[in-house]
């Protein structure tokens, strides 16, 4: 048998405050899902993607998880990367994750130097989509 419980008005006000706070946050920041509804400058999209990353890890991700890794501009955003990949390769993008890669410290004899930091994007393609770099060139 279910027991009925009275809801105290203070709890109800707190609950409504939480709901309103979440709604306000979504209204300010937008929903977490990426959309390409915003039109980007084609010249900007052309310089967002710098190069594909070709490595064992990138090949493994491409085969197993339908992801492609790109070296991207340091100021690139996830929606820009998504729009650039969709425009350049005519594929549908499911999601984008971006990672900042710190430059390595290298030594030349007794002198130390540092390689440049860069940004890479893991682009997850929708099911059935594929980018073949060998055929593109």
Q: What are the residue ranges spanned by the domains of the chain? A: 41-136
Burial 87-117 (b: 16+ CB within 10 A, else e): bebebebeebeeeeeeeeeeeeeeeeeeeee
Q: What is the pLDDT of residue 97?
A: 96
**Overall pTM surpassing 0.85 (yes/no):** no
Average pLDDT over residues 60-76: 93
Kindly report which listed range (12-21, 106-115, 125-134) carries the lowest average pLDDT score: 12-21
Q: Which of 46, 40, 37, 89 is nearest to 68 (CA)?
A: 89
pLDDT in tens, 85-113: 999 999 999 999 999 999 999 999 999 99
Name the DSSP letter for residue 32.
S
CATH class of 41-136: alpha beta
CA distance 96 to 88: 16
The band of 40, judged by pLDDT with boundaries at 50, 70 and 90, is confident
């Amino acid at each position: 048998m279910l027991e009925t419980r009275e809801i105290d008005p203070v709890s109800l006000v707190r609950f409504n405050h939480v709901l309103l706070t979440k709604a306000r946050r979504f209204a300010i920041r937008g929903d977490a899902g990426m959309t390409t509804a915003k039109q980007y400058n084609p010249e900007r999209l052309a310089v967002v993607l710098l190069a594909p990353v070709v490595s064992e890890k990138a090949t493994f991700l491409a085969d197993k998880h339908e992801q492609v890794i790109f070296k991207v501009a340091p100021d690139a955003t996830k929606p820009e990367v998504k729009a650039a990949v969709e425009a350049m390769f005519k594929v549908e993008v499911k999601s984008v994750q971006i990672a900042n890669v710190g430059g390595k410290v290298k030594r030349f004899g007794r002198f130390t130097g540092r390689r440049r930091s860069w940004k890479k994007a893991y682009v997850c393609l929708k099911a059935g989509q594929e980018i073949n770099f060998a055929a593109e060139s």
